[in-house]
Structure 1
Amino acid sequence: MANLEVRGSQFWLNGEPIRILSGAIHYFRVVPDYWEDRLLKLKACGFNTVETYIPWNLHEPEEGKFMFEGLADVERFIALAGELGLHVIVRPSPYICAEWEFGGLPAWLLREPEIQLRCMDERYLRKVDAYFDVLMPKLVPLLSSNGGPILAVQIENEYGSYGNDKNYLTHLKNGMQERGVDVLLFTSDGPTDQMLQGGTLPDVLATVNFGSRPEEEFAKFREYRPEEPLFCMEYWNGWFDHWLKPHHTRDGGDVADVLDRMLAAGASVNFYMFHGGTNFGFYNGANFQDKYEPTVTSYDYDAPLSECGDVTEKYMAVREVLRKHGADVPEALPEPSRKKRYGKVAMTEAADLFANLEPLSAPVRSASPEPMEKLGQSYGFILYRTHVTGPRTSQELHVQDVHDRAQVYLDGRLIGTVERWDQKPIIVDIPAQGAALDILVENMGRVNYGPRLKDPKGITEGVRLDNQFQFDWTIYPLPLADLSALPFSELPNRQAAFENPTFYKGELVVDEIADTFVRLEGWTKGVVWINGFNLGRYWEKGPQKTLYVPGPLLRKGRNEIIVFELHGATKLELELAEAPDLG
């Protein structure tokens, strides 16, 4: 197969001009059993290409240990897209943003506080190069030059929004080419002077990202690239949600109108997102402009295809615009996935966190509280424990620069919560005999965009009583990657939740498998697992009110549900509903 070429202001493929009509689907946000369904729905909408990021932190969760199976089987996803008749654009990191934890960078980079990210820092580049040594050989057989579906590969991601190290961009470009990537390379940036100056290379195709005003944005792009094809690499047709903020939506008619104007200008386009999917597990990212804002579990994005893969009004509006501009739009639509209300599930067993630290964690002694990364931990929670001397009266307890949310216990009793966006001291009284101090910190997602990317988790500075730092700590890392060793006991009273952070277990019996949605009315904040798969976080403060459960995660017969509740619930049951509630 011939490579995608740029001739003047047009793309050419196999001797003919081509307009790229692409939609973003992230394989790592969709269970593999549904990849084909989502790709077929992309094609049925009139798109000819699928675009995906490749998150470094998913594929190298520990330095030197790589994963390309299951949800991380990027080769299978790309090959499947090609089998279905779709072209593929890949954006293979090292940084992806994507509202994904740490923008796709692995947390273990932060074990070296001096490391400089996304630039010609030798410590950083050695790790990028080692990753590319493994990743690029997996992509090369799938390039169009080798008969595969990959037409184009991105260098870095929106780099002009972060830096201007052209030597770094050139290093990545050369590194891809030296490892056999011989298809079209490109950059993508916002359409501003600063971004286009900092993020592009003179001999590499440039693309732009925006959500509206295409005439204005393309005009700015033309000031820098007067002859190249117009390509909106990220058409933001929806948006993502943060906890504590309203759910975002965008009118489908407005989305269709902007698309119509882009296509009328002769542009190619990539919908970001066509299908958002889900931030399963602890992989949601966060933003930090004026303050820290963590992203919710759902990545529905108000995209044309919903989080659970349903066709929306926006999908139909986009489909008609693509048809108008000559896209190959089949008449039939793929069937929606089945949804089912399984009803209520009672929690019948429990395991208190503080009483079960041993099967979950190997403790570490330290003079000072240390962040997760120093202890080799990337995600989840971390518990800090010490003894405070007394007597002390009305002292201010400061959890200095906590990342991100700390629950503070004195002699086993919750005395307050310190949140990164509202770090107020807690007034404490310590009896003469002293007291045990426990601080449980939740990593709610590393910053994925902007100048605050270096985002270590846990207690990053120290703990003070007034101005006196407290020393001599026992630290329990709690990644919660495996709960199989937890010893659950039968609940004596199924109506009342414990006050301490507690794991609750219940059983769902399934006769027929379908998609469903966990509704957690009466619960406060925590995490849900089904059959050992981490669905993600919930929080009563919203906006998200349900967690999506793809049918393939269920099995006929008995299914185990575990809820880790941080505070307490009014009733120890949850409901499996047939429709989502994103706020």
Structure 2
Amino acid sequence: MSEFRIGDEHFELDGEPFRILSGALHYFRVHPDLWRDRIRKAKQMGLNTIETYVAWNAHAKRRGEFDLTGALDLGRFLDDVAAEGMHAIVRPGPYICAEWHNGGLPAWLFESGTVGVRRDEPQYLAAVEELFANLAPVLVPRQIDQGGPIILIQIENEYGAYGSDPVYLEKLVAMNRAIGLTVPFTTVDQPTPEMLVDGSLPTLHKTASFGSRSTERLATLRRFQPTGPLMCSEFWDGWFDDWGEHHHTTSTEQSAHDLDELLAAGASVNIYMFHGGTNAGFTNGANDKGVYKPIVTSYDYDAPLDERGDPTEKYWAFREVLAKYGSVPTDAPVVSEPAPAFEARLTASVPLLGALGPLGAFAPHDGVPTMDSLQQYDGFVLYRAEIDVQGEAVFEIDEVRDRAVVLLNGAPVGVLARDHHDRRLTLPADARGTLDLLVEDQGRVDYGERIGEPKGLIGTARLNGEPLLRWEALPLGLDDAAALDGVRALLAPLESTVVAGPAFVRGEFTLEAPTDLFVHTRDWGKGVLWVNGVNLGRYWSRGPQHTLYVPAPVVHAGVNEVLLLELHAASTGVRFVATPDLGHTEF
């Protein structure tokens, strides 16, 4: 057992000065069988600590449930950190941002319509207390003073950019202490006077988040944290991507220079990100500052360790810098061989509208319900109404969150997209029959005032200006393995070389042994990809991302399955390529 404390000048480990050299690695974005590999590579770069957020909504998809198994086994992750001789920083939120859907806050939290998040509000704090109670058996015995790796706990996350409620922060501190956390607590904010004041308390050690102008920003931090060690606990070495934009990269030379400048000033650091991983399934976040921008599936982040876990040019540059300030192991990671490049085919399909039985059941509604009111917190809902119009027909909805494929009698007639602020759509003249809207939650806003907003069709639907009140809604059970088995049973041989969506499409490929793969998606439209039943995330011809990463533990020797939900149109070819294609850059 050891003691870790914040001294007058330094972090101290067993009474000796200790510089934190940390890298961010989110367990919930990396396959658990790859955690040790990524942690070891952090150590090989010269780091001594691993930092992770805790994604509350990943663990608690429904209130009263808390999953700590498999990919969410935080205890196993922290044990892996310890087994590699590393320390740990844990940021349990409750809000994390992290470009993760809803900033980590569970969507069910907002069901009352009266909850006040990220402030001193009883409903919210009662739920947060449940979160910490569930985390206590994992975190408390893994603190450094109990023989574990955890040296720091962060309170909230960049709170000064959101609000100013010291009572709320004090109550979070009290909750964390009440469950038995004894290690030092910190806060993080961007180094502006207002944020540093609003985002912390006099009793909490302030740290900063930035990615450039290190000396200047540390000086600002020092004015508001006059004693103790300086720390940049989010040193931004890259950035995330949005669908429809370019792939973000940062200069390796400049990032290494800024890191060197930071460490030369005597500061500690947490590199955000060391390894980004993947927004698999429906976990990506979004931003909306007037235009809705969903985040892509890859969270590569242009980090030192790429999405596959390979060292990049930035890795070697950072390793060289870190060697000036600490011990770097003599062993170093080896870059992987290119992934296998080969082709397969999609050979069976079924229209989505012909496969609804296994996915759930329609229920009647007066007006259009939100996805949240149906307790469908991600993925898709199919809305259905019967219409009969003579002459011109215009469908209208107050707001769509986030994208609706509109079909009349099973035939696509258009799309309503939130990022285009679409509200109206012309239907064919003399429209009569079944009107379907397949609505996709493309990712919940993770930052700012729109956190927690409901998804689906919002407000009143109208046909030629008249309210359309009789609806049915069917939440698609795409996270249910049995439901997908039911879909597979409905598949029929596919003779064409193209697929007209919305449809499920299946194919197979054969491997001699498990290996990382990259699925090429340029020949497909928009949809979701499963490999061997694992939801690997969204693809979209809009880009910038045009490959999806398949971790080796997802596949096996022999025959493997590819399953798509294609919303528009796709080629039946399945191409696996040697390297990722994350899209064009701005240069």
State the TM-score, normalizing by the size of structure 1: 0.97
What is the correspondence of 1:471-550 to structure 2 with a 5 Å cutoff?
Answer: 471-482=469-480, 483-486=484-487, 487-498=489-500, 500-550=501-551
Q: CA shift at 1:137, angstroms?
A: 2.2
Q: 1:441 aligns with which of 439, 442, 459?
A: 439
Where does residue 402 of structure 1 map in the other structure? Answer: 400
The answer on whether the counterparts of 1:397 and 1:463 sit within 8 Å (CA) in structure 2 is yes
Where does residue 231 of structure 1 map in the other structure? Answer: 231
Q: Return the letter of the residue paired with 1:189.
A: D
What is the correspondence of 1:114-193 to structure 2 with a 5 Å cutoff?
Answer: 114-193=114-193
Paired with 1:260 and 1:466, the residues of 2 have a C-alpha distance of: 63
The answer on whether the counterparts of 1:521 and 1:574 sit within 8 Å (CA) in structure 2 is no
The answer on whether the counterparts of 1:379 and 1:479 sit within 8 Å (CA) in structure 2 is no
Q: CA shift at 1:428, angstroms?
A: 2.7
Where does residue 280 of structure 1 map in the other structure? Answer: 280
Q: CA shift at 1:429, angstroms?
A: 4.3
Secondary structure, counterpart of 2:420 in structure 1? coil
Pairing 1:411–2:413 present: no
The answer on whether the counterparts of 2:205 and 2:225 sit within 8 Å (CA) in structure 1 is no
Where does residue 8 of structure 1 map in the other structure? Answer: 8
Pairing 1:197–2:197 present: yes
Q: CA shift at 1:38, angstroms?
A: 0.5
The answer on whether the counterparts of 2:504 and 2:564 sit within 8 Å (CA) in structure 1 is yes
Where does residue 380 of structure 1 map in the other structure? Answer: 379
Q: CA shift at 1:141, angstroms?
A: 0.5
What is the correspondence of 1:419-458 to structure 2 with a 5 Å cutoff?
Answer: 419-424=417-422, 425-431=424-430, 434-458=432-456
The answer on whether the counterparts of 1:87 and 1:150 sit within 8 Å (CA) in structure 2 is yes
Secondary structure, counterpart of 2:35 in structure 1? helix
Paired with 1:61 and 1:172, the residues of 2 have a C-alpha distance of: 22
The answer on whether the counterparts of 2:107 and 2:452 sit within 8 Å (CA) in structure 1 is no
Secondary structure, counterpart of 1:170 in structure 2? helix
What is the correspondence of 1:218-297 to structure 2 with a 5 Å cutoff?
Answer: 218-297=218-297
Q: CA shift at 1:460, angstroms?
A: 1.7
Q: Return the letter of the residue paired with 1:450.
A: G
Q: CA shift at 1:392, angstroms?
A: 4.2
Q: Deviations over 1:112-141 (max 9, x none)?
A: 222211111211111111121111221101
Q: Which 4+ runs in 1 deviate beyond 4 A?
A: none
The answer on whether the counterparts of 1:409 and 1:437 sit within 8 Å (CA) in structure 2 is yes
Q: CA shift at 1:193, angstroms?
A: 2.1
The answer on whether the counterparts of 2:279 and 2:299 sit within 8 Å (CA) in structure 1 is yes
Paired with 2:64 and 2:335, the residues of 1 have a C-alpha distance of: 40
The answer on whether the counterparts of 1:243 and 1:295 sit within 8 Å (CA) in structure 2 is yes
CA RMSD of aligned residues (A): 1.3
Q: CA shift at 1:566, angstroms?
A: 0.2
Q: Which runs of 5+ in 2 are unaligned?
A: none
Q: CA shift at 1:275, angstroms?
A: 0.4
What is the correspondence of 1:258-337 to structure 2 with a 5 Å cutoff?
Answer: 258-325=258-325, 327-337=326-336
Paired with 2:149 and 2:2, the residues of 1 have a C-alpha distance of: 11
Q: CA shift at 1:111, angstroms?
A: 1.9
Q: CA shift at 1:330, angstroms?
A: 1.4
State the TM-score, normalizing by the size of structure 2: 0.96
Q: 420-429 or 186-195: which moved more?
A: 420-429
Q: Return the letter of the residue paired with 1:96.
A: I
Paired with 2:491 and 2:26, the residues of 1 have a C-alpha distance of: 39
Secondary structure, counterpart of 1:226 in structure 2? coil
Q: 398-407 or 174-183: which moved more?
A: 398-407
Paired with 2:229 and 2:467, the residues of 1 have a C-alpha distance of: 59
Q: Deviations over 1:124-175 (max 9, x none)?
A: 1111111211112211010011111000001111111111111111111100
Secondary structure, counterpart of 1:330 in structure 2? coil
Q: Return the letter of the residue paired with 1:390.
A: V
Q: Return the letter of the residue paired with 2:286.
A: A
Q: 1:460 aligns with which of 458, 480, 485?
A: 458
Paired with 1:399 and 1:235, the residues of 2 have a C-alpha distance of: 43
The answer on whether the counterparts of 1:339 and 1:514 sit within 8 Å (CA) in structure 2 is no
Across the two proteins, how many residue pairs are aligned to each other? 578
Paired with 1:492 and 1:310, the residues of 2 have a C-alpha distance of: 38
The answer on whether the counterparts of 1:347 and 1:494 sit within 8 Å (CA) in structure 2 is no
Paired with 1:462 and 1:574, the residues of 2 have a C-alpha distance of: 41
Q: Return the letter of the residue paired with 1:332.
A: D
The answer on whether the counterparts of 1:347 and 1:572 sit within 8 Å (CA) in structure 2 is yes
Q: Deviations over 1:175-227 (max 9, x none)?
A: 01011000011111111122112110110111110111112212221221122
Q: CA shift at 1:450, angstroms?
A: 1.2
Paired with 1:447 and 1:488, the residues of 2 have a C-alpha distance of: 35
Where does residue 103 of structure 1 map in the other structure? Answer: 103
Paired with 1:218 and 1:363, the residues of 2 have a C-alpha distance of: 57
The answer on whether the counterparts of 2:4 and 2:145 sit within 8 Å (CA) in structure 1 is no
